Structure 1
Amino acid sequence: MARTIRTNAKRGIALVSSLTIAGLALAACSGGSSDSGGEAGDTLKLWHYEGADSAMGIAWAEAIKVFEEETGATVEFEEKSFEQIRSTASQVLNSDEAPDIMEFNKGNATAGLLASQGLLTDITDAVGEYGWDEKLAPALQTTATYNEDGVMGSGSWFGVPNYGEFVTVYYNKDAFAAAGLEIPTTYDEFTAVLDAFVEQGITPLAEAGLEYPLGQLWYQLALSQADRQFVNDYQLYENPVDWQGEEITYATETLLDYVDKGYIDPDVSGVKAEDAGVSFINGTAPIFVSGSWWYGRFVNEITDFDFGIFPFPDSDLSLGSSGNLWVVPERAANKELAYEFIDITMRPEIQALIGNNGGLPVAADTADITDAKSLELIEAFNAVNEKDGLSFYPDWPTPTFYDTLVAELQELVNGTKSSADVQKALGDEYESYVSDFR
């Protein structure tokens, strides 16, 4: 189940797709071959695909400076596109062109697939030596460990995340104030807010059925009725999932109810994620259930009102996961240098750079976060982690589930399929892949 990122800023619900084996051999060979600590003349060959102005790009640039100062080694950094790394990974990592460390997408069909093929280094010993496991919440560790079949959540460590992501509820503070509404703390209060906006002739929820947001809302509704075991069954294949059971039936029927009640535009099946986000930015829709990857953009682009966030009411589980992983290729020339670099990116000062630039650090001291809006997001993310609430994304289980979920929910909201038929189609797609792992 390889996953490409299906959203602005490369985050959010993951579009799973088969990892392409063919591709071009990239870059020059590493300059050093030492497998012990750094020294003058050693070279760490590093690849990642974060923009220079992104939170991670800023933090990792500082980490490179610190690394070179402390080790005496040189970093040979190559910025690759996400697609370059995704499409050529199997070929490049099985050659002498492999970097010493690179950013790679988390999940069964990406990092898990490469691990099962023997292309990534088992870094379990390094994790214990540096104590990275002590800095990561349980759900964040899930995407870093893989068994011999490449299924996440158990087995050995093959990567380390140092940032995270999650889905929350964005709201227009000015619109709420004008309507005399408070932040809902229960689900009944949430639907009362939605009803109040509908009564004013306002469609309250910014949504998109042509891409990921509608599927995220569907999964969040299921999670509101679920427990951790449901997540483990759905995502980690621990037990069969009942596709006509309480959690999924509630999600499907409630989503249709949202359309019928006017909470969601009836033409949602033709709306893209970008359009949904813009409808929140321009004040057309007062509520948007989506990911932390939108947060920085909202800070920069919303100028006519104040916005805030609140957790989906009456749900201890939320969509979200670690960010992508630092992985060390099995054929890396300088593995110990790679571990030293990873450790620097986990330091409080580097984590604070991620946090103060709009990212979600996994091991920051909140006292180091000086930006008030960033702190709001980080505290919300920490609250989810404290409850072990991160529950991944609905399309993760199979290579084609993203497309199937989008198509089936379009059928649902268009009235061309019943809830039961939609659930059967989703279940058939899920089982066609997952049954091989049981």
Structure 2
Amino acid sequence: MIPFIYNNSPIPIQNLLISGREYFRHKKRYNSEFYEILDAFNRGNPNEVNITELTSFVKNAAKSPFWKRRFQEYEVNPVSKDIITELQKLPILTRYEVDQHFELLKVPLKEPTSYLATSGTTGKGLVFPQTASMERKQWAVWWRFRQRFGISFGDWMGLFGGRSVVPSNQNKPPYWRYNHPMRQVMFSPLHLNAKTISEYYNKLRNSNLKWIHGYPSQLAFLASLIREKGFPSLPMDYVSIGSESLLPHQIKIIEEVFEIKPIEHYGLKEGVANISLTPCGKYQIDQDFAFVEFIKSDLGANLFKIIGTNYSNHAFPLIRYDTNDIALLDNHGEIISIEGRNDDYITLPNGVKIGRLTMIFLTATFVKEAQFYQKSLNEVEIRIVPASEYKREVHEPIILNATRQRLGYEIDIKIRYYDKIYKPNSGKLKFVISEIR
């Protein structure tokens, strides 16, 4: 859609434009092949790599100049019966290499392809090709996760994502638009604040929505505003989140207001990894969609890099790709939590990197949003959006003491207060911003 035309159209026309665009996306995504893939995923074993598909993928990857050269360099046999052992001869593929050799990574196919954009791990965008079957497989594996918890295709969703569906200069309700093909009420994150929360609350309540989905930072902010205004809780059947790390204090406020614990899955548009929460509370690696490895990091005990191979996308093969994300594993190799990005760490003056800073806000429901910002080795700033019950003389020492316990006393710590923490165009809240390289 052309932004100027959309932003200057009447609201009913905006709803029509959104639904019209999403109709074609829905028709392309949810066709007969999608349901066949979903059925196969539901009948298969998610813990097992599909060796047949992986082998076919590697043979196809050898057609790209980049992988042909790399297979030769590391003596990888693309037709080996033990294809996983062969792939593990390869070094880890970095985002820098993908940027440098983008054209050489692509494989020309007869199958239709489209281009997908991701905001990337460093803020720099990546636009890459994907096959139509890849798109359907990715949505099938996500819907397998949703169906495990009882969500069905007919359920309407309240969506709190990163898309700007309401013009920024609109200063009166409604602060939402309708996507009828996808059965979504799309709420504007840009307009959500203490003055407009009653409009959001009444819309959620009067629409009888039982499922909301979005970034955890937005849903936690929504929940904190509801509680701050003293509105009754809004029981939901499902609260699902994605795209950001889910922090302990966010879980607490979301569960308190919506009376249900949020469910999460980890995935990337690049399709190199997918990890889903199961109803029993454990994380499942969806190896039947992408081949995932965990490589020990230097960031601390039991912290592992998430390395993935997107064997569902033949158009743009990424093999042993460093997602720049970190998983915390127990001694048996089970996932305890997805810890966030590799750069979600503070670097101390002595060079030590400290992570798991989310634990500082484990019970901090007196905070709406929080973010760490490090500009130099000697100083870190904690950005706080306080909740209504926040008392500076009481809660600031609590935050400082908890931070000192993790960062020590060799680094200067400052707390600064904001009405709202800036988010980039993606709408995602980055928990740690570090200028240290």
**Hey, which of these two has a bigger chunk of helix by percent?**
1
What is the TM-score when the length of structure 2 is the normalising length?
A: 0.29
What is the TM-score when the length of structure 1 is the normalising length?
A: 0.29
